[in-house]
Amino acid sequence: MAKKETFSRFDAAEYLKTEEDMALYLDAMIEESHGDPRMIAVALGDIAKARGMTQIAKDTGLARENLYKALSADGNPEFSTVMKVITALGIKLRAAPSAPSKPRRAARKKRLFAF
């Protein structure tokens, strides 16, 4: 008789062990999200679970249940909530151009008088 296989639901939080893992995971999710804020919220939720949602709730001053809801695929957190979570997680956001910029031409100086 064949053994029945069982599968468990994938939980990214189980694989986020270090600060570097968490930062790289968030970077990858931002890159792959193509502007979908739900993916970024879910990534923050995964990182918060890995860190301990109860502690993140204390650090942000938000209710744990509300954080679970806001940082889910169905959540729609306010930007202030996202920033509180990022701060509590000790993550730093940085901006970079999405495409290499074109070299700028030097501005021409206008002549005031023509001789």
Q: How far is CA 64 from the centre of its chain?
A: 19
For the ranges 8-17, 64-73, 95-104, the maximum mean pLDDT occurs at 64-73
What would the two tokens of residue 78 be?
Answer: 């306010």
For residue range 25-36, list pLDDT tens digits in order: 999 999 999 889
The pTM of this model reads: 0.77
In a 10 Å sphere around its CB, with 0-12 CB exposed, 13-18 middle and 19+ buried, how is residue 70 labelled? buried
- Model confidence over 17-66: pLDDT tens digits? 999 999 999 999 999 998 899 999 999 999 999 999 999 999 999 999 99
Q: Could you tell me the residue ranges of all domains in the chain?
A: 12-89
Residue with tokens 């940085």: 94
Structural contact between residues 85 and 67, judged by C-beta atoms closer than 8 angstroms: yes
Assess contact for 44 and 82: CB atoms under 8 A: yes
